[in-house]
Structure 1
Amino acid sequence: MASRAAAVALCCLLVLAGCADSPVPTDGADSPSATATPGSSTAIDAPPAATPKPDAVEVEVIDIVDGDTIDVRFPNGSKDTVRLLGVDTPEVHAENDPTEFPGVPDTDAGRNCLREWGERASQYAEDELAGETVTLSFDENEPRRGYYGRLLAYVHVDGDSFNYGLITKGLARRYDSSNFQYRERYGTAEGIARGTGTGLWGACATESPRTATETPIPAADGGPPLWVSEIHADAAGDDRENLNGEYVTFANAGEETLDLSGWTVSDEADHTYTFPEGTEIPPNGTLTLHTGSGEDGDGHLYWGEGSPVWNNGGDTVIVRNGSGETVIEREYGG
């Protein structure tokens, strides 16, 4: 019975691998409305590490096209090209568009810098993946193949997400023309890389929407770093009628859960909000504080103010821990 089960499992693996060369829909993964094709594996990528499910596919990496594209060989000998989901490294075989990388100037210098970092991303992929056996998994929000017929997949090496690693090392941006399942997590990771000037962001970006004091600051009690990932002071329409469109988003750049119970957020006019008991941000997680009223939950808190707090023209976000020590003082605008 055991040998029969093993044979069935091997047959299923070969059939799945063989699908790589079969005609499949090429609904563009570049389209936000793209949906998964029948037979796609459930996404199992859980940044920053992942343990692939049994239905994921092991392949050998036989060539590196560039930082986000590789050629692979399946167990049955068939070959295919894989485009890494959720990431976009600078081009090495085409002209770069600096406007795709926030803060990088649209100049020859900006394009040359991106080309250099595209080459670095390609070399990193070469060093980490060439000749290795890796695991491919797929995303339930995306088709198995993209517009150019390439497989769209997450690549796992020893349980870690290679795709996600490109973001955290500043070798890629989040690919925004995609509805992949981990958009928010990848966006947070990109924001941290930009805020800390990691990789291409420190070398190529001469201006950034996230500036100065955005570098993660360790909590005064020795806890993991907290930082301000977004300040949305100018709500759509009349700020007074759209209080929840005014918000500040915080992110945990550490590897441990950050407990904000009793911490406070203030502005220059000393409007103060105290985080409720039990408020936590998981590793690589975010928490958004809206000015208006609502039901707390799912990473969103509501200040309950009856008028706007954050000045559109400029203000300071001040975060203090439970002991009253300043953890973050982030200026914007002005």
Structure 2
Amino acid sequence: MDRRLLAVVLATLAVLAGCTTALPEATPGEPDGGDGGGATVAPGADLTPTGGGSVTVTVTRVVDGDTMKVTFENGTEDTVRLLGVDTPEVHSENSPDEFEGVPETDEGSECLRRYGERASSFAKETLEGETVTLQFDPDSDRRGYYGRLLGYLVVDGQNFNYRLVAEGHARVYDSSFSLRDGFDDAEASARAAGTGLWSCAEGGTGPTATASATPDGGSVDGRLAVVAINADAEGNDNENLNDEYVTLENRGTESLDLSGWTVTDEAGKTYTFGDVTLGAGERVTLHSGSGEDTATDVYWGQSSAVWNNGGDTVTVRDADGEVVAERSY
């Protein structure tokens, strides 16, 4: 073979070899320094699918325990919904019936919300700012119903989705993916041991109180509570303003006349209630967009999103300007 031709062939092979990136090897049970706590990684967390493809991304923001904003190496931004898992909600109400054994009560829902906060914190500590592998599954679509990417995030060789389930931060989401059996086994073990959110089940101990937990919905005097916050509307927040909302509940035994009461965010945007009376135990939802007010839903009339997806504080004041409820997320 001509020496010049041989040189070209060898150079081409070298370039092709450099384009193939293998996932880092993992040893089950090794301590993972990524969560800042020196916790032992659950055995099996190195579980990854065969096929499906992968790409390198940087996690720029954690929306909640199972949803992240990422940037690709070419600068493109996208949203990832972690495949096969579901962490409890922190911006809206939970449905305890989705979590086996958790009582369908206010206490059960509140217990799940606290663990949703913990899942979000765990995800932020482990993922935010990190460059990781986004691994796709051969048995799943690459995008879900809302257009978000579906996949696993692999950090230091560990499948983060699996860790969420094995360590009690999430349940297995009822969907088709190649690692389903392993995830189901991990959930069964966590549930049997009462690990994490499964301590919310009947007979469980529930979460230990933390400074960030607000079991009373931020109520100052027991009259009114902020029971739900949905800061991150589906799709573009500014194009779906009525899916951005906060829900208030009368926790007292008497009706509350909300006329002149206000709801304010950290930036000082203020909504003032009109002629609204909330009976004992009743709720009213304040949507950021426009619509016709009813007894259960009122509308702010904003032209852009109010609540910061990355964190904000809902402050409710009565007609005298006294704070009656305040809840941060």
Q: TM-score, normalised by structure 1?
A: 0.48
TM-score (normalizing by structure 2): 0.49
